[in-house]
Amino acid sequence: MKKHILTAVLMPAVFSLFSILPAAAASLSELRAKATERGVVLPKGTFVEGVMTGDCMSANMAANIQTAWNKMDLRMPYLTNYIQNEDGSLGMRVCFKDIYDNRVPRFARVRIDLSGCELVKQASPECYTVFGVEAEDVQVLSQGEKPSKLRHIGQLKAEDIFTYVTLEQVEFLSKEGSYTNVREFYVQSTWLNAFKKPKNSDWFDESGLYVKDDEGEALFLPVNTVCTWRRTGNRQPAGVGRVSGIVVADELLRCGNPGPVQLRIAGPQDVDIPVEPASCYETIAEWNWDRNYYYALKCRSGERQWLEGQRIDAEEVAADEGEGWLSLTFPCKMGLEKDYNTRCPQDGLTPGEGNRECAAIVWDTRVSQWADSKAAILVQTTTAGISGKGLTVDFTWLAGKGTVETSAGFPEMWQLAWSVNGKSFMPAGNPFYLRPLAWEKGGPVTATAAVGYTENSVLLPAFLLGQKRVYFRIFPVPSKGLSPEAELNLRLGKVCVKVLK
């Protein structure tokens, strides 16, 4: 057991008393200066003071650890808390020795004895974690208020990691889903999915969703699937408001392209967004088969209806809303299949029950067909007469059929480019990942296999507004290790072109 270090000053004997002063606390910047990537053990007499911003009762304070392809360690959220200085300019993650040590009230001002704890630096992005804190090391000095640190997504920087931030003017990228649009077979068992979940299938956990702000920037909100608030049967907030949480830097491979930092919320109490619909964006064109109960596609040749699992020759597909066409640039087969996500909980279904089946478009191709430099998903629409601050292209997608055979050998890194003439294309945004669907049988599952469709949002210049025609290509970045004869069952759950007002 570590003991608090006190500095005793002996007063003149005539007074026969001691004056005991507490050891000075180190600032977070001083502690950060001592850290290394290999870790350092802090000496006796090391103290820190600040505000604890984590919720010790939340199952969403950190990413759970995958210990094997079919095993999870679910303790990390309960071992994890966060401390920041008074002005919220710097923060540090605190990993307790045991889950029962982490019992500090949220937003309490504390003094922590770090004697003998290990301090570790993560280099990219730069952030700091202290390991080994016990309950008796923490002294609660006072109970504080919720920190007020307002940011837009584009203002976040490395110094904000492990601090509590409130994002302004944000909305959910997908408003018709839940906090975790996943295939429930693969994620942690709770009463939410007990209705049909196979035994011993708690294999994966990484999930979440994006918020976008009024400047066109997007940020990922990780949500652990053991959280029972993730799908309650209530409508997801559809308006514009604020979201508060702790900026983290997790490597969430299964979530596609969540970026270098994310925002971890403790639960719906951190979401201050109205339920009633409102948006900083207007839809120009949308392809969304979630509202299509009859597995029908509006094609150039007319509306095509068929049952699930059937295929036709691929052709251009008309937008469900607005004006536009969606297609591949080479011949293949296409169809509609059930969406693997548990979307639309606001359809009147109660928690613990299944959600209504949705649909996604599927193109059956071979990897070799994507080797051509012109091979791409092609989206075309018009922005004539439309003004605003910019455009975004949002989409959800997935690869494979949930089998070992369709989970590898295809291009993982992709890019979006734009054009106003359909010939000369300019790349936009950062490359993003296409992930395979996880599977239940056939051996170990790759660390990048997704438990649902992953989301993407690409911000485009205002120059593309007011154009008679605009074109967007989503195409693979050339890479090694491809299997030309491998299948690439490419699935799009939703595509939406929006103007930022």
Q: Which of 203, 199, 200 is nearest to 186 (CA)?
A: 203
What does the alpha-carbon distance between residue 225 and residue 231 come to, in Å, rounded to a whole number?
Answer: 9
- CATH number of this structure's domain 6-143: 2.40.50
How much is the pLDDT for 305? 73
Residue 261: CB atoms within 10 Å:
20
Q: Please list the residues that pair with 398 across neighbouring strands.
A: 491
Give me the mean pLDDT over the 471-486 stretch.
Answer: 94
How much is the pLDDT for 401? 86
What does the alpha-carbon distance between residue 111 and residue 25 come to, in Å, rounded to a whole number?
Answer: 8
Residue 467: CB atoms within 10 Å:
18
Cα–Cα–Cα angle for 385, 388, 390, nearest 5°?
A: 115
What does the alpha-carbon distance between residue 30 and residue 378 come to, in Å, rounded to a whole number?
Answer: 52
Contact 224, 77 (CB under 8 A): yes
What does the alpha-carbon distance between residue 380 and residue 328 come to, in Å, rounded to a whole number?
Answer: 11
pLDDT category at 442 given cuts 50, 70, 90 is low
Most confident of 194-208, 271-285, 309-323: 271-285
Asked if pLDDT for residue 204 goes beyond 50, the answer is yes
How much is the pLDDT for 18? 37
DSSP 452-479: SPEEEEEEE-GGGTT-S-EEEEEEEPP-
Asked if pLDDT for residue 356 goes beyond 80, the answer is no
Evaluate whether 6-143 and 150-272 have a shared fold. yes
- Pick the range with the lowest mean pLDDT from 44-58, 326-340, 379-393: 326-340
How much is the pLDDT for 357? 62
How much is the pLDDT for 49? 97
Sign of CA dihedral 326, 328, 329, 334: negative
What does the alpha-carbon distance between residue 44 and residue 114 come to, in Å, rounded to a whole number?
Answer: 8
pLDDT digits (tens, 9 = 90+) for 393-429: 999 999 998 888 888 899 999 999 999 999 999 999 8
pLDDT category at 381 given cuts 50, 70, 90 is very high
First to last CA, the chain: 59
pLDDT category at 7 given cuts 50, 70, 90 is very low
Asked if pLDDT for residue 345 goes beyond 70, the answer is no
Q: What is the mean pLDDT of the chain?
A: 88
How much is the pLDDT for 21? 55
Structural fold of domain 150-272: OB fold (Dihydrolipoamide Acetyltransferase, E2P) (2.40.50)
Which is more confident, 197 or 461?
461
What does the alpha-carbon distance between residue 353 and residue 346 come to, in Å, rounded to a whole number?
Answer: 12
pLDDT digits (tens, 9 = 90+) for 122-147: 998 999 999 999 999 999 999 988 99
Q: What b-and-e string marks burial along 82-114, b requiring 16 or more CB atoms within 10 Å of the CB?
A: bbbbeebebbbbbbbeeeebbebebbbbbbbbb
Give me the mean pLDDT over the 79-87 stretch.
Answer: 96
Which is more confident, 290 or 337?
337
pLDDT digits (tens, 9 = 90+) for 215-237: 999 999 999 999 989 987 777 88
How much is the pLDDT for 353? 47
Give me the mean pLDDT over the 21-30 stretch.
Answer: 84
Residue 139: CB atoms within 10 Å:
16
Contact 226, 57 (CB under 8 A): no
Q: Which of 95, 110, 181 is nearest to 358 (CA)?
A: 181
13 phi/psi in degrees, rounded to 5: -60, -25
How much is the pLDDT for 484? 93
For residue 490, the Cα-to-chain-centroid distance in whole angstroms is 21
Q: Give me the percent of the chain exceeding a pLDDT of 70.
A: 90
How much is the pLDDT for 79? 98
How much is the pLDDT for 182? 86
Which is more confident, 272 or 294?
272
How much is the pLDDT for 340? 66
For residue 307, the Cα-to-chain-centroid distance in whole angstroms is 33
pLDDT category at 354 given cuts 50, 70, 90 is very low
What does the alpha-carbon distance between residue 428 and residue 58 come to, in Å, rounded to a whole number?
Answer: 38
What does the alpha-carbon distance between residue 48 and residue 119 come to, in Å, rounded to a whole number?
Answer: 12
- CATH number of this structure's domain 281-500: 2.60.120
Q: Give me the percent of the chain exceeding a pLDDT of 90.
A: 69
How much is the pLDDT for 13? 39
How much is the pLDDT for 307? 55
Contact 316, 329 (CB under 8 A): no
Contact 244, 270 (CB under 8 A): yes
How much is the pLDDT for 56? 95
Give me the mean pLDDT over the 334-350 stretch.
Answer: 64
Indicate the domain borders of the chain. Answer: 6-143, 150-272, 281-500
